Amino acid sequence: LSRAWEDGGIGKNYWWVAPVSEQANIAFKRIRNGLSMKPAPKINLTNKTIELPNGATIWFKSGDTPDSLYGEDVHAVVIDEASRVKEDSWYAIRSTLTQTRGQVRIIGNVKGRKNWSYQLARKAESGAPDMSYHKLTALDAVAGGVLDGAEVDDARRMLPEHVFRELYLAEPAD
């Protein structure tokens, strides 16, 4: 949203891609409900798009069908729950960003080590050019006042350790 607002213009496209459309709908609803700008953005519920007053369009897409992610001029992408997005979708997104030299932000919970996002995160963590790596855990969220510590403690007690470590501490299980 910030990239579309700051750098956007008529005909510039920005994507939020999630593993399946139901997850993309979550981001669409949250962003749509959080916008209070004047003039109001144009919302298309059918196509799941938000057109900002500057003419930029934010699309909320599924990574479930990689072939649907080719062809558009896209200026920036968020890949949400990346460890659950198909590898071929990553290839399509990366290829789509080539013409515009668009940026990508890859976010989400950890899910194992055998996926493209884990491998890419290791490259970023090791200092690969034009990449950065940031890890936020549930403990960081508690310290920042975003999550309740008692709830995180309850999850630690209720979940299998390997599940808790992946979902709350961003430590992949094999």
Q: What is the pLDDT of residues 11-21, one digit of tens each?
A: 999 999 999 99
**Side-chain-facing half-sphere of 69: CA atoms under 13 Å:** 32
Chain segment 133-160, per-residue pLDDT in tens: 999 999 999 999 999 999 999 999 999 9
The strands making up 13-18's β-sheet, listed across from edge to edge, are 42-44, 49-51, 57-62, 13-18, 74-79, 103-106
Q: What pLDDT score was predicted for residue 54?
A: 94
The one-letter amino acid at 49: T
On the question of pLDDT at 37 being above 90, the answer is no
DSSP 120-165: HHHHHHTT-TT-------HHHHHHTTSS-HHHHHHHHHHS-HHHHH
Q: What pLDDT score was predicted for residue 32?
A: 92
Report helix, strand or coil for 27: helix
Could you tell me which residue, 36 or 10, shows the higher pLDDT? 10
CB contact at 8 A, 85 and 94: no
- The greatest distance separating any two alpha carbons of the chain, rounded to the nearest whole angstrom, comes to 51
Chain segment 56-77, per-residue pLDDT in tens: 999 999 999 999 999 889 999 9
98 Cβ neighbours under 8 A, 6+ residues apart: none
